[in-house]
């Protein structure tokens, strides 16, 4: 039986060089052909404008004359093109494929913008784009292209909302932004809804110095003004922020609140001694993991009896918050795991933090708006044709 000789590293390098030279030659020929085509198109436009070609005689009065050519750089996916543009004494004749003041194709501009939105620093975007086009765009060019997102961000903040939300989730994420006095944490308050048919949408995000009543009320009033009047709302899930609870009573007073069990668990465990940590955690989890509200209340009474003397303030506060922690038991059992926490919106925050981590710190509020808008738009696009089946079945 004939054996096949193993592929050596030298042979692998030979194949890689062969591929590179082959495709490089293909791209080179395509680039030169495109340059020639655009130069001919520019010449044709000039002849059409003047009414006569080279060396032709005419009796008509000449209003303009040829005035040679100039060179114009244009970046495409094939690389940098050097285009020979015809001109007269009065004007130039760019091919129709190239707009005035345009230095790169729309797809290259999109590549630059997407690289920025993926969390790559402005000054590093040039290296990424250069791998494809051979051109290293300046940081100022990247910033200028990304500013084109500002109009889309404005439309997102102002678009009308349908009053079809059944479950509203509210939470905040903290991001770093550069200030004259140094880096500072800035809150982004976010609203997320799930409808009866299982469709979901990120509705809004606003910048705020904190999670005060006034800040949350501003967000809720904006949702109400844009169309989310709450006529179909069945539940509002929050992280337990006191300012948010007060704001909800002002804007959506008839909608029952559900406090996030995960946030409450963190609050409880922060005040527990290390030796009691695991036992307190297990007994507290038994409250919202019970089969029904009666068993949940029984689990709380056991927790209360066991820990009242060791942690009186913690137990007292849990007793006060218990009604809002158990609101989800009013809904179909299969929805309990989705409605008892703000985990659905926390998953969006994970993506926000992952995408913004390479930036370390935002330069200004506008750049922060663009990044968050891009992330949220991507989520909304992915969810357009994907519903949460568990809510559809419950409906």
Residue 342 near residue 191, CB atoms below 8 Å:
no
State residue 4's pLDDT score: 44
Alpha-helical segments (H) within the chain: 9-50, 106-117, 122-133, 139-146, 150-158, 213-226, 242-251, 261-269, 277-288, 293-307, 312-325, 336-339, 343-356, 365-383, 389-394
Q: Looking at the structure, tell me whether residues 120 and 80 fall in a common domain.
A: yes
Q: Looking at the structure, tell me whether residues 208 and 257 fall in a common domain.
A: yes
Residue 135 near residue 78, CB atoms below 8 Å:
no
Does residue 86 lie within any of the structural domains? yes
Does residue 6 lie within any of the structural domains? no
Q: Looking at the structure, tell me whether residues 168 and 84 fall in a common domain.
A: no
Range of the domain at 324: 163-394
Does residue 209 lie within any of the structural domains? yes
State residue 253's pLDDT score: 92
State residue 238's pLDDT score: 92
Q: Looking at the structure, tell me whether residues 141 and 175 fall in a common domain.
A: no
Q: Which of 158, 192, 227 is the last residue of a domain?
A: 158
Name the packing angle between helices 365-383 and 106-117 (round to 10°). Answer: 100
Does residue 16 lie within any of the structural domains? no
Q: Looking at the structure, tell me whether residues 147 and 250 fall in a common domain.
A: no
Does residue 358 lie within any of the structural domains? yes
State residue 228's pLDDT score: 93
Q: Looking at the structure, tell me whether residues 169 and 151 fall in a common domain.
A: no
State residue 312's pLDDT score: 92
The residues, any chain, with a CB within 8 Å of residue 106's CB and separated by 6 or more, are: none
Q: Looking at the structure, tell me whether residues 219 and 252 fall in a common domain.
A: yes
State residue 362's pLDDT score: 66
Q: Looking at the structure, tell me whether residues 191 and 322 fall in a common domain.
A: yes
Other Cβ atoms closer than 10 A to 256: 16
Does residue 84 lie within any of the structural domains? yes
Per-residue pLDDT of the chain in tens (395 residues, 90 and over written 9): 444 445 466 555 555 555 555 445 666 677 777 778 888 888 888 888 887 767 666 655 467 778 888 787 776 666 667 778 888 888 878 787 676 546 666 666 666 666 666 656 666 666 666 665 666 666 666 666 667 677 888 898 999 999 999 999 999 888 777 666 667 777 889 999 999 888 999 999 988 878 889 999 999 999 999 999 999 999 999 988 888 999 999 999 999 999 999 899 999 999 899 999 999 999 999 998 899 999 999 999 999 999 999 999 999 999 999 999 999 999 988 888 889 998 888 888 888 777 766 665 666 677 778 888 888 888 888 888 888 888 877 65
pTM as predicted: 0.69
Q: Looking at the structure, tell me whether residues 243 and 171 fall in a common domain.
A: yes
Q: Looking at the structure, tell me whether residues 102 and 243 fall in a common domain.
A: no
Signed CA dihedral, 372, 373, 377, 383: sign only: positive
State residue 5's pLDDT score: 47
Q: Looking at the structure, tell me whether residues 84 and 188 fall in a common domain.
A: no
State residue 219's pLDDT score: 93
The residues, any chain, with a CB within 8 Å of residue 300's CB and separated by 6 or more, are: 287, 318, 319, 322
State residue 207's pLDDT score: 86
The residues, any chain, with a CB within 8 Å of residue 391's CB and separated by 6 or more, are: 166, 167, 194, 195, 196, 197, 198, 335, 338
State residue 113's pLDDT score: 66
| Total number of domains constituting the chain | 2
The residues, any chain, with a CB within 8 Å of residue 292's CB and separated by 6 or more, are: 329
Q: Which of 128, 158, 188 is the last residue of a domain?
A: 158
The residues, any chain, with a CB within 8 Å of residue 211's CB and separated by 6 or more, are: 172, 187, 189, 241, 243, 244
| Phi, psi dihedral angles at 51 (to 5 degrees) | 95, 0
Does residue 52 lie within any of the structural domains? no
Q: Which of 132, 158, 184 is the last residue of a domain?
A: 158
Q: Looking at the structure, tell me whether residues 188 and 289 fall in a common domain.
A: yes
Compute the distance between CA of residue 31 and CA of residue 104 in angstroms, rounded to an integer. 14
Q: Which two tokens stand for residue 214?
A: 């006034």
| CA 331 to centroid of chain Cα atoms | 31
Does residue 24 lie within any of the structural domains? no
State residue 73's pLDDT score: 72
| Phi, psi dihedral angles at 77 (to 5 degrees) | -65, -15
């Amino acid at each position: 039986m004939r054996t096949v000789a193993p592929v050596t590293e030298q042979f692998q390098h030979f194949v890689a060089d062969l591929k590179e030279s082959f495709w490089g030659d293909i791209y080179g020929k395509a680039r030169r052909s495109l340059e020639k085509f655009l130069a001919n198109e520019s010449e044709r436009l000039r002849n059409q404008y003047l009414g006569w070609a080279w060396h032709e005689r005419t009796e008509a009065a000449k209003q303009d004359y040829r005035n040679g050519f100039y060179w114009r750089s244009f970046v495409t996916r094939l690389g940098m093109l050097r285009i020979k543009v015809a001109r007269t004494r009065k004007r130039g004749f760019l091919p129709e494929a190239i707009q005035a003041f345009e230095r790169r194709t729309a797809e290259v501009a999109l590549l630059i913008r997407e690289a920025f939105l993926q969390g790559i620093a402005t000054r590093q975007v040039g290296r990424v784009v250069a791998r494809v086009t051979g051109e290293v765009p300046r940081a100022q060019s990247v910033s200028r292209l990304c500013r084109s997102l500002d109009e889309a961000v404005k439309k997102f903040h102002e678009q009308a909302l349908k009053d079809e939300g059944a479950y509203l989730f509210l939470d905040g994420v903290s991001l770093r932004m550069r200030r004259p006095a140094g880096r500072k944490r800035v809150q982004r308050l976010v609203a997320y809804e799930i409808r009866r048919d299982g469709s979901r949408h990120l509705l809004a995000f606003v910048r705020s110095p904190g999670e005060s009543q006034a800040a949350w009320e501003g967000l809720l009033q904006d949702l109400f003004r844009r169309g989310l009047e709450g006529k179909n709302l069945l539940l509002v899930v929050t992280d337990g922020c006191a300012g948010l609870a007060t704001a909800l009573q002002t804007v959506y007073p008839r909608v029952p609140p559900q406090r996030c069990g995960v946030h409450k668990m963190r609050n409880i465990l922060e005040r527990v001694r290390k030796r009691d940590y695991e036992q307190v955690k297990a007994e507290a989890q038994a409250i919202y993991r019970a089969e029904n509200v009666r068993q949940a209340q029984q689990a709380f009474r056991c927790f209360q009896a066991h820990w009242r003397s060791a942690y009186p303030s913690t137990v007292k506060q849990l007793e006060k918050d218990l009604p809002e922690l158990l609101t989800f038991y009013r809904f179909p059992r299969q929805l309990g795991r989705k409605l008892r926490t703000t985990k659905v919106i926390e998953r969006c925050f994970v993506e926000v933090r992952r995408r913004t981590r390479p930036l370390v710190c935002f330069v200004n509020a506008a750049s922060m708006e663009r990044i968050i808008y891009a992330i949220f738009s991507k989520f909304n696009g992915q969810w357009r044709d994907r519903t949460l089946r568990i809510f559809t079945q419950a409906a």
